[in-house]
């Protein structure tokens, strides 16, 4: 009987701690205001980040190794390549990819190869499309598998050895690689 | 799931004129197993995928693709081709177990 607390007193205490703004010093209103501000600050930062295309020199070490193996020390420049991928891929087993380049396909100077790389896949160098001037326009469309959210890179190699690239982030919800 | 491995289609547009840059679409039915998945009994499914595609136009090689198992099941590819002569367009797909699949399309000009 001694440790029994009257119901009225307990409820009163709870009620007070929930509703009293002046006593806590950190009211619900100020908390909401602060969290709203924080949310907007984060949203603005995220939007600002999305507007810029992904920088090409932001390359993880494992991808740098693959690039080194493929192209040696030749630098990959940004531009001349348009990479079309979905921002969010519902199914990682089928992600449509479209690569297009405005580089000429003339007999003396043409796009020799189009490379497709996915940073977070087991096999980073996913595909290589070797072309000839017979291909009137450097354009490739295919469907790929992605294990998880990852940058996708398209690198175009011209017959004179120049490298042009583009990259985009794809968010993946279903693992397509096992 | 029924799957006839190697059944292939090559699609070219109709009404091609000399010198047109046409869209060529090709699809071959193939499981493209990565070797990383397991079947419902827990046994690993061995890798089985197409790793080499050769496109010949007439007697010349027009394109040559090297794929990993990262290309989706029933691999599809679309690309351009400058149709400057009437000839046969031939696709040959090879997989990592020695399977060879071929399909052709005739490029003919409208008069």
Domain ranges, ordered by start, for chain B: 8-107
Residue labelled with tokens 């367009």: B89
pLDDT at B67: 94
**Beta-carbon separation of B63 and A132 below 8 A:** yes
Burial tier of A36 (Cβ tally within 10 Å: 0-12, 13-18, 19+): exposed
Tens place of pLDDT per residue across chain A (178 aa): 456 655 555 555 554 445 444 555 667 777 778 776 777 776 666 655 554 455 556 788 899 999 999 998 898 989 899 999 999 998 889 999 999 999 999 988 999 999 999 999 999 999 999 999 999 899 999 999 998 999 999 999 999 999 999 999 999 987 766 5
**H or E segment to which residue B23 belongs:** strand B20-28
Fold held by B8-107: Immunoglobulin-like (2.60.40)
What is the distance in angstroms between the Cα of B82 and the nearest Cα belonging to chain A?
5
DSSP state of B28: E
**ipTM associated with this complex:** 0.89
CATH topology of domain A61-172: Immunoglobulin-like (2.60.40)
From chain B, pick out residues whose CB is under 8 angstroms from the CB of A94: 72-73
The SS3 of residue B63 is: strand
Ordered DSSP codes for A87-120: SEES-TT-EEEEEEE-S---SSS-EEEEEEEETT
What residues of A are in contact with residue B36 (Cβ under 8 Å)? 122, 177-178
The shortest C-alpha distance from B34 to chain A (Å) reads 7
Q: Could you give the C-alpha distances from A62 to B8, B31, B69, in angstroms and in order?
A: 36, 28, 19
pLDDT tens track for B17-70 = 998 999 999 999 999 998 888 888 988 889 999 999 999 999 999 999 999 999
In this complex, the residue of A105, A125, A137 whose CB is nearest that of residue B68 is: A125
Q: Do A144 and B72 touch (CB under 8 A)?
A: yes
pLDDT band, residue B110 (cuts 50/70/90): confident
Q: What residue segments make up the domains of chain A, in order of their start?
A: 7-51, 61-172
Distance CA B100, CA B53 (A): 10
């Amino acid at each position: 009987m001694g440790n029994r607390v009257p119901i009225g007193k307990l409820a009163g205490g709870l009620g007070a701690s929930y509703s009293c703004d002046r006593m806590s010093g950190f009211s619900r209103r100020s908390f909401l205001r602060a969290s709203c501000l924080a949310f907007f600050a984060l949203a603005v930062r995220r939007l600002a980040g999305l507007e810029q295309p992904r920088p090409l020199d932001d390359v993880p070490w494992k991808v740098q190794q693959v690039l080194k193996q493929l192209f040696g020390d030749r630098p990959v420049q940004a531009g001349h390549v348009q990479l079309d991928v979905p921002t969010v891929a519902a199914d990682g087993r089928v992600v449509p990819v479209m690569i297009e380049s405005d580089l000429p396909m003339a007999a003396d100077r043409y796009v020799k190869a189009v490379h497709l790389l996915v940073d977070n896949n087991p096999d980073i160098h996913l595909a290589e499309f070797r072309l000839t001037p017979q291909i009137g326009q450097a354009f490739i469309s295919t469907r790929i598998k992605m294990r998880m959210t990852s940058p996708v890179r398209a690198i175009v190699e011209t017959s004179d050895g120049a490298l042009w690239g583009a990259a985009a982030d794809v968010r993946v919800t279903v693992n397509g690689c096992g | 799931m029924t799957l006839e491995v190697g059944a292939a289609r090559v699609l070219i547009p109709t009404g091609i004129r000399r010198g047109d840059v046409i869209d060529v679409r090709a699809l071959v039915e193939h499981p493209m197993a990565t070797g990383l998945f397991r079947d419902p009994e827990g046994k690993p499914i061995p890798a089985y995928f197409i790793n080499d595609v050769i496109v010949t136009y007439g007697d010349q090689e027009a394109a040559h693709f090297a794929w990993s198992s990262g290309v989706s099941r029933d691999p599809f590819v679309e690309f351009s081709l400058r149709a400057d002569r009437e000839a046969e367009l031939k696709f040959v797909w090879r997989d990592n177990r020695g399977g060879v699949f071929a399909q052709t399309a005739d490029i003919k000009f409208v008069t």
